[in-house]
Amino acid sequence: MKLLFIGDIVGQPGRNAVKTLLPKLREQRALDFVIANGENSAGGSGITPKTAGEIFDAGVDVITSGDHLWDQKEVMELLGGEKRFLRPLNYPTGTPGRGSGVFEIRNSEFGIRNSIAVLNVQGRTFMQPPLDNPFLLAAAEVKRLRERTKIIFVDFHAEATSEKIAFGRFLDGQVSAVVGTHTHVQTADEQILPRGTAYLTDAGFPGPHDGCLGREIEPVIKKFLTGMPQRFEVAKNRVQLHGAVIEIDDASGKAIKIQRVSETITG
């Protein structure tokens, strides 16, 4: 099977990038499943049922999230009733929502049914709020998920490159792929780890790339110059979609290939 993972969607420009470019990518790459991180899709911070609906309507099958989960109060509706929306697994017991799910996939050409587990986990280094240990919780959850399917994708939402690399190595051979989000800068270290797990430190982001991580550059510079609070509006120009296409062996759940994606809206 082939899946596409799309990095952190930033604001309306990011949603437009997914809406505009995903249909072409589905056809060109013969995609079976699409996952996207939507935690910045509502005005550049948080997610709402409306922005989630736009992302699903564009062709995304599952939406993951991260540390901006609570930035929009409407997220409670998603956490309470949308099974295709995931929040980080390592929130304390009793937190609304769920950190993983198993979803059915169907190959339109051959009619073969299979399933994929998607796991959303948040790192702890330089991250707020501090959550439970992602390594320990992910290990237990992966063991549970493997009883249902060998195809497991992990969105590891974390700041520190070292923590991301360690996490990928920790799960090597137990999951199909570990791809990082949160830092919004697509890295060039895509690889298949020794035991068959596809890995990429950060998928990048769909949205405007003429600013700073999707925001207008002047307020960011002013914040660094003065230390004073600023309003970081979403930028507008050079809109791109970043992510990775991963090919997985259905029988073993091991990754065969990983390729970065960087597409630009033209015109």
| Whole-number Å distance between alpha carbons of 122 and 89 | 7
Q: Give Cα 238 to chain centroid, integer Å.
A: 21
Q: Which of 132, 162, 51 is nearest to 140 (CA)?
A: 132
Q: Are 133 and 90 in contact (CB under 8 A)?
A: yes
| Whole-number Å distance between alpha carbons of 189 and 262 | 14
| Whole-number Å distance between alpha carbons of 228 and 111 | 57
- Return the SS3 of 262: strand
Catalytic residue among 68, 182, 184, 242: 68
| Whole-number Å distance between alpha carbons of 207 and 236 | 8
Q: Which of 179, 183, 91 is nearest to 141 (CA)?
A: 91
Q: Which of 235, 146, 143, 181 is nearest to 63 (CA)?
A: 181
| Whole-number Å distance between alpha carbons of 18 and 12 | 10
- DSSP category for residue 110: T
Task: Based on the residue annotation, tell me whether 157 is a catalytic residue of this protein.
Answer: no
Contacts of range 186-192, beta carbons closer than 8 Å, 24 or more positions apart: 186/7, 186/242, 186/260, 186/262, 187/161, 188/260, 190/244, 190/258, 190/259, 190/260, 191/258, 192/255, 192/256, 192/257, 192/258
Which residues are annotated as catalytic? 68
